[in-house]
């Protein structure tokens, strides 16, 4: 069965995902697209040579009879409305992070999904599909490291635009780590603190950069994450898990080692699209296969909610300078 997909939001990642589905993956076909900027949607249809109808409204696209499943890749504040509409229509929906911009919004989605009686939502936390993180997860789950005690991590970007402001270091950038560590450690967060070191001269006036986020889990694992979004040199994701019996380090992306002009070096990637390209492929293939089988798996609405709760606490910690408690409600049996 071919899953007929409608894409809402044809900006950078909406176009990337549409290209993947059309040119690389199997079992899915883009039959409808929508964007608040209709011209942009038409341009993407032409550029990717899609046989897809352009809708002025995302809600109309969701209702279309020939749309089996929906990709929500529009601006974050629009996600909740589209995901709720897809659930109401009984359609599988892949939603880019964030699931909703508030924990309350995520809760509405959880309530609607439980009411619908089956999982329909997959959240775009693609790191869970990255081969390096999967190896780390396996090492932890098979107890090769003993009990995990600490995690040291870094999320670095070369630079960010003027519209990127201090809280975005949490809800746009750290959000990936917030999901990844919960999944790796099979644990929830108990508290968060944010520390601002000396500011880099490369950061514009509205963003504090770098930031250090200190998290504690309910099992007492301590996590430190450096978020440094104007590091200049490249897109660099680091993660060490320190256990009782050993340490696992996230593998570096494969790259050639050059010997040249008196130096030995390898290049560092410059953006997230290449770093997580394979993970995006695997993630979206899982969504297509799940939609075809009527069994959506991967990161759930509950995971989107948990990340939103932790993210809200981190933003509060940015403002208060204090250690902020994180309280997760009990997980409904529905999300096993």
- Give the interface segment with ligand NAP, choosing from 60-68, 71-79, 228-236, 319-327 (CB under 6 A): 71-79
Does 78 interact with ligand NAP (rule: CB under 6 A)?
A: yes
Q: From residue 67, give the alpha-carbon distance in Å to each of 45, 97, 282.
A: 16, 22, 22
Terminal C-alpha separation, the chain: 28
Q: From residue 149, give the alpha-carbon distance in Å to each of 5, 216, 245, 250, 279.
A: 43, 10, 10, 16, 27
Does 73 interact with ligand NAP (rule: CB under 6 A)?
A: yes
Based on CB atoms, which residue is closest to ligand NAP, 145 or 307?
A: 307
Does 6 interact with ligand NAP (rule: CB under 6 A)?
A: no
Nearest to 14 by CA among 54, 41, 52: 41
Based on CB atoms, which residue is closest to ligand NAP, 97 or 155?
A: 97
Report whether 289 contacts 27 (CB < 8 A).
yes
Binds ligand NAP by CB under 6 A, chosen from 6, 28, 58, 210:
58
Nearest to 274 by CA among 163, 153, 130, 159: 130
* Tokens at 166, concatenated: 């201090």
- SS3 assignment, position 185: helix
Dist. CA 161–CA 189, nearest whole Å = 30
- Give the interface segment with ligand NAP, choosing from 4-12, 244-252, 262-270, 296-304 (CB under 6 A): 4-12
Restricted to residues 95-114, the positions that interact with ligand NAP (CB under 6 A) are 96-97
Does 236 interact with ligand NAP (rule: CB under 6 A)?
A: no
Least gap, CB of 227 to ligand NAP (angstroms): 14
- Give the interface segment with ligand NAP, choosing from 10-18, 23-31, 62-70, 313-321 (CB under 6 A): 10-18
Least gap, CB of 75 to ligand NAP (angstroms): 4
Q: Which residues bind ligand NAP (CB under 6 A)?
A: 8-14, 34-37, 40, 58, 73-76, 78, 96-97, 124, 126, 272
């Amino acid at each position: 069965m071919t899953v007929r997909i409608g894409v809402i939001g044809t900006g950078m990642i909406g176009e990337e995902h549409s290209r993947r589905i059309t040119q690389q993956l199997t079992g899915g076909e883009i039959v409808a697209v929508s964007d608040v900027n209709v011209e942009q949607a038409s341009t993407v249809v032409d550029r990717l040579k899609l046989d897809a109808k352009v809708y002025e409204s995302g809600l109309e696209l969701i209702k279309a009879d020939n749309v089996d499943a929906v990709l929500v890749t529009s601006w974050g504040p629009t996600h909740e409305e589209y995901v709720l509409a897809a659930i109401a229509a009984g359609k599988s929906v892949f939603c880019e992070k964030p699931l909703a911009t508030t924990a309350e919004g995520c809760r509405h989605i959880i309530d609607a999904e439980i009411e619908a009686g089956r999982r329909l939502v997959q959240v775009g936390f693609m790191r869970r599909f990255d081969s390096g993180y999967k190896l780390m997860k396996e090492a932890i789950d098979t107890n090769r490291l003993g009990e995990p005690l600490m995690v040291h991590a870094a999320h670095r970007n070369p630079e960010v635009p003027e519209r990127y402001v201090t809280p975005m270091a949490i809800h746009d950038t750290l959000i990936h780590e917030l999901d990844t560590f919960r999944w790796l450690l099979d644990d929830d967060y108990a508290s968060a603190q944010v520390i601002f070191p000396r500011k880099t001269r490369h950061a514009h006036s509205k963003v504090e950069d770098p930031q250090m986020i200190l998290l504690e889990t309910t099992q007492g694992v301590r996590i430190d994450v450096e978020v440094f979004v104007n590091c200049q040199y490249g897109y660099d994701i680091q993660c060490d898990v320190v256990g009782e019996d050993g340490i696992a380090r996230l593998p570096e992306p494969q790259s050639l080692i050059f010997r040249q002009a008196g130096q030995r070096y390898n290049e560092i990637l410059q953006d997230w699209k290449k770093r997580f390209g394979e993970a995006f492929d695997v993630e979206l293939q899982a969504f297509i296969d799940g939609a075809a089988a009527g069994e959506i798996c991967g990161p759930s609405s509950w995971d989107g909610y948990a990340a939103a709760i932790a993210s809200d606490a981190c933003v509060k910690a940015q403002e208060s300078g204090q250690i902020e408690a994180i309280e997760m409600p009990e997980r409904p049996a529905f999300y096993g």
